[in-house]
Amino acid sequence: MPEFCKVERDGHVTTVTINRPEVMNAIHPPASAELSQAFDAFLADPDAWVAIVTGAGDKAFSAGNDLKFQAAGNKVESPASGFAGITSRFDMAKPVIAAVNGLALGGGFEIVLACDIVIASEKASFGLPEPRVGLAALAGGLHRLPRQIGLKPAMGMLLTGRRVEAREAQALGIVNEVVAPHQLMSIARRWADAICECSPVSVRTTKRVALEGLSHASLQEAMSARYEAIVELVKSEDFVEGPLAFAQKRKPNWKGR
């Protein structure tokens, strides 16, 4: 059983909880290794369609890298999948929802930036304070944040290390929805269930094509490119089932393949 995270499956939804509340859910290498294994299992399970990531307790989603662990002289390294097993996981075709229950700082914020949808408690706050301790946001933050909210707003956060509260994060485009703390997991689950109403193949295709398209310089190039995910969609059982269920006025029976 994992020591530093909890994994639960309910229907097609997997919930991964960072479980180090005594240190504000800070991540050290053993926690990263366990989280990487959890995401490996999520990707490998054909019946797991959506993941929700959150933190244990009500104070922190994750305070980021465990600096005390690092300061004690321990070797600090991440798996090939990146910090917390997710920040370098560019093959994550399945959607991941961040349910941010409190502080999301440094690497914790970088986990959030690696997710597709972000639901935040009214008590949540976000920031990349690495420059304040002589470090840099090297787990994707320096690159994801400018791409997600624009250069000037990102530089305002990156160069000062300042935090933004949930409402400002929503205005910046970091957060999809801000909710009361007691509603956080139920609203995150509502989003996950809405995704599960769609074809899993269509969802994976949509995510992959949208992200891969960003690598092209122009809209025309992006739309003209060939995407393997589209080839897989056209060959899938869901591609047949969707129109058939619509014509027969019934709920689709998605196979996810």
List all residues 6 or more positions away from 257 whose beta carbon is below 8 Å from its beta carbon.
Answer: 46, 201, 236, 237, 238
pLDDT at 33: 96
Active-site residue, from 3, 34, 77, 130: 130
34: annotated active-site residue: no
Neighbours of 91 (CB within 10 A): 9
**Catalytic: which of 3, 22, 110, 177?**
110
Query: What are the sequence ranges of the domains in the chain?
Result: 5-196, 200-247
pLDDT exceeds 90 at position 178: yes
Beta-carbon count within 10 A of 231 CB:
11
Contact 230, 247 (CB under 8 A): no
Active site residue 3: no
What CA–CA distance (Å, rounded) separates 128 from 161?
5
Contact 100, 79 (CB under 8 A): no
Predicted confidence (pLDDT) per residue in 181-192, tens digit: 999 999 999 999
Q: Any idea which residue has 């420059």 for tokens?
A: 131
pTM beyond 0.75 = yes
Helix (H, G, I), strand (E, B), or coil: what is residue 193?
Answer: helix
Nearest-angstrom CA–CA distance, 59 and 124: 8
- Does CATH number 3.90.226.10 belong to domain 5-196? yes
